[in-house]
Amino acid sequence: MADYHFVYKDVEGASTQWDDIQRKLGNLPPKPEPFKPPPFVPAEDPDLQPKSKAWIDERTVEELEDDLDLDDDRFLEEYRKKRLAEMREAVRISRFGSVVPISGSDFVREVSQAPPDVWVVVFLYKDGIPDCGILLRCLEELATRYPATKFVKIISTDCIPNYPDRNLPTILVYNNGAVKGTYVGLHQFGAQRCTPEAVALTLCQSDPVLNDGQSGSDPSRQAVIKGIRKKFIEKVVTEHEDKQDEYSSDE
């Protein structure tokens, strides 16, 4: 017959009254402290740490979207603030975008009293004069390209009484309530071969009139002219590619 031995083990740290008496008498060593495992501390994951403002500022909007952590409240708050700031800046830059017709009674409010950071291009014209139509088409294209610049048009005699038609078209450039440039006739922009790029470069020879808001902290004339030339090159390349596509489709 097999000999089975049952070994009883009490709960760890438990003690009998007899053991307690013996410990008081010094016959047994002190009861050991019950084992307690250390508290759980998860390992630090750098991807889960709150993102600082400096971390956000160093990244583009696309990178922020890729790194977006929906469990990080601080990151979401900083991301929201950054996007709101970008949206406000986009609204500020895109405040115009077209050639707006004005009357003589509007001139002071729309031109002379425009904010100091706004350049205003005033187009003096009359219907039925071909050169006025050519220049107006160029200005309409520039107005869409440079929405931070204000473009207005006004019938010449509404702006200046008895202004001679032989001086049309005329462009006046205003900034901070003062006239910064006057361009009489179409010949200054290439006459009948006038293009938006020629008009843009002429307007910006002395001042950064056409600012698209993308030159950052350098709104200088040189930066603006560089941006105009870049847009011109992009336009030429696009037109060339479109012609190539048309040629390929015709074959």
Domain residue ranges in the chain: 51-93, 99-207
Query: pLDDT digits over 133-156, tens only?
Result: 999 999 999 999 888 899 999 999
In what helix (H) or strand (E) does residue 181 lie, and over which residues does it extend?
strand 178-184
Residue 13 has pLDDT above 70, yes or no: no
pTM: 0.55
Query: pLDDT digits over 21-80, tens only?
Result: 777 777 777 777 777 777 766 665 555 555 566 666 666 666 666 655 544 566 666 666
Q: Using CA of residue 17, residue 21, residue 24, residue 30, what is the dihedral sign?
A: negative
Which residues, 6 or more positions from 212, have their beta carbon under 8 angstroms from its beta carbon? 93, 145, 146, 147, 148, 227
Say how many C-beta atoms besides its own lie within 10 A of residue 99's C-beta: 19
The mean per-residue pLDDT over the stretch 84-88 comes to 64
pLDDT for res 23: 77
- Report the CATH number of the 99-207 domain: 3.40.30.10
The mean per-residue pLDDT over the stretch 98-124 comes to 93
What is the side-by-side order of every strand in the sheet holding 119-125?
99-101, 150-155, 119-125, 170-175, 178-184
Residue 88 has pLDDT above 50, yes or no: yes
Query: pLDDT digits over 234-244, tens only?
Result: 655 565 555 55
